């Protein structure tokens, strides 16, 4: 299959309406979309990504008014969060409308809904005229693409079209909040952080701790994510990069002075937001350069730092786990 590259939202939308899957930009990461109401198109997403069938997809809509097409009802907490954060980097989990195929939600009776604010995504979703199911546009288990070039490197020849946009402004995936229980639960941290959510719905809580042993509420969280091929190690700063490894190592962080020996590739970020925005494309470049180890500086767990630390920890999990779960 030849992968067509276009800057035209209407050209990309026409391919989607005919049943094709299309990679498209959003402000978080690039998504891999298909008509959410067409089970056959949705199955093509799972094939292109090599994604496990039990990991549900997020449905994208151009505005909050369309949520009723995919949700059976909208809980009060979801309604409030949508009012404040749509369009934007937030996904709410709500009860699934019976018209949404089981393939989208992996058999769950809930569905994740997101309304991105990126203008190209907005134009694309409007031109599609249907809800669009989309995971991140990477092969399963790999870091999410934040540029169209990364999406192409992941999926060239496996999908019919990539809608080109600029670099994703945020660079980390959306915050996912399950609004189906008595208290909303944050299932995945993202650019909309806990304090912001609580300012709107004070009862929002984190999933950490107590639920570890229960059934997985967000099936995706049990899979490896965000892992590049090089090993990832978290450090407190440049001094922690071992001299013996520097020649084949890369480093990314806020501080980039004081190395005992300068690594092959160094990326200094001016702020946590630049770090988040540049992280996955840095991983990608390091893979291309054949870097052996990527040292990543830890950041304080405040604001966007919560989501960034979450992704860094997942990327740094032992390679053993990585291999086992990549075989999906
Ligand atoms: O920023 C984003 O969210 C990007 C862009 C493309 O919108 N999408 C994205 O999708 O990151 P994906 O599939 O890579 O991650 C979706 C996460 C997974 O962990 C999945 O298990 C969870 O959301 N999820 C989706 N639907 C769910 C549901 N009904 N219940 C619980 N978790 C759900
Ligand atoms: Mg993903």
Give the Å distance between the CA of 238 and the centre of ligand 1.
34
Place of tokens 């937030």: 90
Same domain assignment for residues 118 and 239 = no
In a domain, 220, yes or no: no
Measured by CA distance, the residue closest to atom 21 of ligand 1 is 220
CB atoms within 10 A of CB 72: 15
Lowest-pLDDT range of 144-148, 260-264, 318-322: 318-322
The total of structural domains in the chain comes to 2
**Atom from ligand 1 closest to the CA of residue 176:** 23
Range of the domain at 8: 4-212
User: pTM of the entire structure?
Assistant: 0.94
Q: How is residue 74 written in tokens?
A: 């909208």
- Summary mean pLDDT of the chain: 93
Same domain assignment for residues 191 and 258 = no
Same domain assignment for residues 65 and 146 = yes
In a domain, 18, yes or no: yes
Same domain assignment for residues 43 and 160 = yes
Positions of E strands within 85-136: 90-95, 110-114, 132-134
**pLDDT score of 223:** 60
Task: State yes or no: pLDDT of 323 exceeds 70.
Answer: no
**CATH number of the domain encompassing residue 284:** 3.40.50.11030
In a domain, 224, yes or no: no
At residue 141 the predicted structure's pLDDT band, cuts being 50, 70 and 90, is confident
**pLDDT score of 227:** 78
Identify which has the larger pLDDT, 178 or 322. 178
In a domain, 217, yes or no: no
| Distance, CA of 223 to CA of 49 (rounded, Å) | 14
Same domain assignment for residues 253 and 199 = no
Give the Å distance between the CA of 220 and the centre of ligand 1.
7
Cross-strand bridge partners of residue 6: 163
Task: Out of 179, 212, 245, pick the residue that ends a domain.
Answer: 212
**pLDDT score of 265:** 97
C-alpha separations of 220 from 54, 78, 141, 224, 320 in Å: 8, 21, 10, 8, 19
| Distance, CA of 328 to CA of 323 (rounded, Å) | 10
In a domain, 325, yes or no: no
C-alpha angle 23/29/35, rounded to 5°?
A: 40
Same domain assignment for residues 122 and 271 = no
Measured by CA distance, the residue closest to atom 30 of ligand 1 is 218
| Distance, CA of 178 to CA of 205 (rounded, Å) | 10
| Distance, CA of 103 to CA of 40 (rounded, Å) | 9
Give the Å distance between the CA of 48 and the centre of ligand 1.
16
Sequence-distant (≥ 6) Cβ neighbours of residue 57 within 8 angstroms? 36, 42, 45, 104, 105, 106, 112, 133, 134, 135
Work out the average pLDDT over 101-105: 97
In a domain, 225, yes or no: no
C-alpha angle 236/242/246, rounded to 5°?
A: 110
| Distance, CA of 324 to CA of 319 (rounded, Å) | 9
Same domain assignment for residues 206 and 291 = no
C-alpha separations of 43 from 37, 152, 255 in Å: 11, 20, 44
Asked if residue 87 has a cis previous peptide bond (ω within 30° of 0), the answer is yes
**CATH number of the domain encompassing residue 102:** 3.90.870.10
311 lines ligand 1 (CB under 6 A): no
User: Considering the chain, what percentage of its residues have pLDDT values greater than 70?
Assistant: 91
What are the pLDDT digits (tens) for 227-284? Answer: 789 999 999 999 999 999 999 999 999 999 999 999 999 999 999 999 999 999 999 9
41 lines ligand 1 (CB under 6 A): no
**pLDDT score of 210:** 45
Identify which has the larger pLDDT, 216 or 307. 307
Contact 25, 7 (CB under 8 A): no
70 lines ligand 1 (CB under 6 A): no
Contact 170, 191 (CB under 8 A): yes
H or E element that contains 294: strand 293-297
Same domain assignment for residues 52 and 198 = yes
**pLDDT score of 324:** 40
C-alpha angle 121/127/130, rounded to 5°?
A: 90
Task: State yes or no: pLDDT of 216 exceeds 60.
Answer: no
Sequence-distant (≥ 6) Cβ neighbours of residue 180 within 8 angstroms? 75, 93, 94, 95, 110
Same domain assignment for residues 197 and 49 = yes
Task: Out of 155, 178, 212, pick the residue that ends a domain.
Answer: 212
Residue of 141, 145, 150 lying closest to 323 (CA atoms): 141
Same domain assignment for residues 39 and 171 = yes
In a domain, 221, yes or no: no
Same domain assignment for residues 177 and 40 = yes
**Atom from ligand 1 closest to the CA of residue 89:** 1
**pLDDT score of 281:** 97
293 lines ligand 1 (CB under 6 A): no
In a domain, 173, yes or no: yes
Same domain assignment for residues 51 and 198 = yes
**pLDDT score of 207:** 86
Task: Out of 212, 244, 263, pick the residue that ends a domain.
Answer: 212
């Amino acid at each position: 299959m030849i992968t067509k590259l276009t800057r035209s939202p209407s050209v990309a939308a026409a391919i989607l309406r005919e049943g094709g899957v299309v990679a498209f930009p959003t402000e978080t990461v690039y998504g891999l979309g298909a008509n959410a109401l067409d089970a056959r198109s949705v199955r093509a997403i799972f094939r292109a990504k090599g994604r496990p069938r039990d990991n549900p997809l997020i449905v994208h809509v151009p505005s909050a008014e369309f949520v009723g097409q995919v949700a059976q009802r909208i809980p009060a907490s979801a309604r409030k969060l949508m009012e404040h954060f749509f369009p934007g980097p937030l996904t709410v989990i709500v009860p699934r409308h019976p018209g949404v195929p089981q393939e989208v939600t992996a058999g769950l009776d809930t569905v994740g809904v997101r309304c991105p604010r990126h203008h190209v995504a907005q134009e694309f979703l409007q031109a599609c005229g249907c809800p669009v199911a989309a995971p991140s546009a990477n092969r399963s288990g790999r870091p999410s693409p934040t540029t169209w070039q990364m999406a192409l490197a992941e999926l060239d020849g496996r999908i019919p079209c990539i809608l080109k946009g600029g670099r994703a402004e945020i660079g980390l995936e959306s915050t996912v909040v399950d609004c189906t229980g008595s208290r909303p639960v944050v299932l995945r941290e993202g650019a909309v952080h806990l304090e912001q959510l609580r300012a709107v719905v004070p009862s929002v809580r984190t999933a950490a701790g107590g639920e570890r042993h229960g059934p997985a509420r967000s099936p995706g969280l049990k899979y490896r994510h965000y892992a590049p091929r090089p090993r990832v190690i978290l450090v407190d700063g440049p001094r922690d990069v071992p001299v013996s490894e520097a020649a084949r190592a890369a480093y990314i962080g806020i501080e980039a002075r004081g190395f005992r020996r300068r690594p092959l590739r160094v990326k200094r970020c001016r702020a946590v937001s630049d770090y988040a925005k540049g992280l996955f494309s840095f991983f990608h470049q390091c893979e291309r350069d054949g870097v052996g180890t990527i040292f990543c500086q830890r950041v304080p767990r405040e604001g966007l730092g919560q989501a960034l630390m979450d992704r860094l920890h997942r990327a740094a999990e032992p390679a053993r786990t990585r291999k086992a779960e990549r075989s999906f």
